Structure 1
Amino acid sequence: MQTIIMTVGTSLLTNLDKDLQPQRPWVGQKTIGDPEQALAWMKRTDLELISAETNTYLRLDPTSNDALILLHSETPDGLECAQILKLFFEQELGQQQVSLVPLPGINYELEGSSLERMAELLKQLAESAKGIVTFAATGGFKAQAMIMAVVGSQLGVPVCYIHEQYKSLVYLPYLQPQVQPRIPRADLPDSGRDRSQIIQIRSDASHHRPRSWAKVERLLRDIPWVDLVRYDPHAYAAPKNSVKASNRKTEDGRHILWIHLHESQDTHLAVRVETTGYTPEHLELAATELRQRLGRLL
């Protein structure tokens, strides 16, 4: 399993939805108001467009048994957004372990001591968390993202970030090179296939490929548990420039990951990555490694 520790901001409340129909019913209001009305709107809106938090959630692709910890500011609007997001994750997305954790002193009168307490809290949460731990420095005040980056670097916990306008999940670099990341390389069997035969994408479609494909191709060829890479239109179900676990397997039962690379409406590519893994643990480890490596590459 994985534990996602995510800061929560107020984009759920404050986004203006200039190009979105229908707009969120509370546009222009000081509060979101009726939770049921909010959930009804969120249910029929793409996760990418609801808020910064749901956009990140979409790209981290958690299972229902993964833990999601939402860190909210000590402000009324921060608490309201976190409460409604918790309801949405539980009731509409089926997450079974969602918890709210307040950040004392994190408000519009932010002080240094409050950030120090946040750093200590992050360390405690990371040390007590189960499974693979990820910091999602998505919402909230900018200073919160800075603290997450520092603590993540100290502990070797990966820190990811995305904004509504971005099209890919970004993993922040570790600031201390001597710190080893807590997530090891995926422990899957090595593929016995010749590495020059891993990529099987038609050469006559090169004019449709994003510029990022050359780097991604090298990345996939260098991962020993990647057995085969092919074009697959089903992989467009993955978020743009992200990884998603496929709902399909190979004929002999191995897990498949989907990658959707997107540069423009005319320049995109969807590929299936056949792994050497058979177990749920294999799938989780492979998806985690590939997601992070892709996030650091793009």
Structure 2
Amino acid sequence: MTVGTSLLTNLDKDLQPQRPWVGQKTIGDPEQALAWMKRTDLELISAETNTYYRLDPTPGDALVLLHSATPHGLECARILKLFFERELGQQQVSLVPLPGIDYELEGSSLERMAELLKQLAESAKGIVTFAATGGFKAQAMIMAVVGSQLGIPVCYIHEQYKSLVYLPYLQPEVQPRIPRAGLPDSGRPRSEVIQLQVDSSHHRPRSWVKVEKLLRDIPWVDLVRYDPHAYSAPKNSVKAANRKTEDGRHILWIHLHQSQDTHLAVRVETTGYTPEHLEQAAAELRERLGRLV
């Protein structure tokens, strides 16, 4: 995840209480910062926490914060690391500086960043995602290029956006690093997978037509039903449910949002039982939904 300075510089015009350091040149006391962050929605704290919220990582996932070679970038990264660890329970958070990525940006610095991203990706275990929301625009561009070269998904979100956006792969011959989830196929006829009441009170957004086809075509999706608990998922994204089916299969929640009056929450019952099944299913569905919606 690239790290910028939105934690420091956001103005909070419509947010109460505002961050205590609004108008200051630095954030200052980390404990004061953590106290404010703890009582503020993740979507509103910073670009990085907004992205984190929508990616829904597990406590054991490794989170690498790539920060610029500026005092402000380092301060924001350090406080975010503390917040992710102490308040959100992330067990593996590391800070990685990007030498030369500052206000006097040079091309050679971007080349070094590209090499660093390749090294990090190749040494990582499990599923890798690049989150290019924070930091200088040039950082996002380099992430997009490297991600396309290596087949690694690159996601992006702005504080005002309502969904996690996945950038397209620019080289179609490259094999994506997120393969199709290896869950067993459902034995249910695909025409019976979607079970939403026609006369239900919820209003379906325009995106539902595409999402319905997507879910019906994924072989490990066993059943899709309306579930108000799924509104706890980020808008237009996926979240692992805090419950399972009666026979122990994992459930994913999807919250589709178009407006205050046009939204839909569904539970997606999978065929998976193991933690690996859940990780694979959530990663595949999150990326495919991000490219679709």
Q: TM-score range by the shorter chain?
A: over 0.9
In structure 1, the residue corresponding to 2:17 is in which secondary structure? coil
Q: Are the aligned partners of 2:3 and 2:67 in contact in 1 as well (CA < 8 Å)?
A: yes
Deviations 1:182-208, CA, capped at 9 Å, x for gaps = 111000000000111100111123871
Q: Which runs of 5+ in 1 are unaligned?
A: 1-5
Q: Distance in 1 between matches of 2:24 and 2:200?
A: 49
Q: Distance in 1 between matches of 2:216 and 2:230?
A: 19
Q: Distance in 1 between matches of 2:178 and 2:195?
A: 29
The offset of 1:238, in angstroms, is 0.4
Q: Distance in 2 between matches of 1:184 and 1:240?
A: 24
Deviations 1:140-177, CA, capped at 9 Å, x for gaps = 00010000000001111110001100010011011111
Residue of 49, 63, 83 corresponding to 1:54? 49
The offset of 1:32, in angstroms, is 0.4
For residue 166 of structure 1, what is the aligned residue in structure 2? 161
List 4+ stretches of structure 1 deviating above 4 A.
none
Q: Distance in 2 between matches of 1:41 and 1:221?
A: 43
Change beyond 3 A, Cα 1:207–1:65: closer
Residue of 243, 248, 253 corresponding to 1:253? 248
Q: Distance in 2 between matches of 1:216 and 1:11?
A: 32
Q: Are the aligned partners of 2:194 and 2:212 in contact in 1 as well (CA < 8 Å)?
A: yes
Deviations 1:258-279, CA, capped at 9 Å, x for gaps = 0001111111100000000000
The offset of 1:52, in angstroms, is 0.5
Q: Distance in 2 between matches of 1:79 and 1:117?
A: 18
In structure 1, the residue corresponding to 2:128 is in which secondary structure? strand
Deviations 1:223-281, CA, capped at 9 Å, x for gaps = 00000000000001101111000010001000000000111111110000000000000
For residue 29 of structure 2, what is the aligned residue in structure 1? 34
Deviations 1:4-30, CA, capped at 9 Å, x for gaps = xx0000000011111111110011111
The alignment status of 1:291 with 2:286, answered yes or no, reads: yes
Q: How many residues align?
A: 293
Deviations 1:56-83, CA, capped at 9 Å, x for gaps = 0011110110000000000010000000
Q: Distance in 2 between matches of 1:238 and 1:215?
A: 19
Change beyond 3 A, Cα 1:175–1:206: farther
In structure 2, the residue corresponding to 1:200 is in which secondary structure? coil
Deviations 1:201-222, CA, capped at 9 Å, x for gaps = 1112387111111110010000
TM, length-normalised to structure 2: 0.99
The offset of 1:130, in angstroms, is 1.3
Q: CA RMSD in A?
A: 0.8
TM, length-normalised to structure 1: 0.97
In structure 1, the residue corresponding to 2:242 is in which secondary structure? strand
For residue 191 of structure 2, what is the aligned residue in structure 1? 196
The alignment status of 1:221 with 2:216, answered yes or no, reads: yes
Q: Are the aligned partners of 2:202 and 2:263 in contact in 1 as well (CA < 8 Å)?
A: no
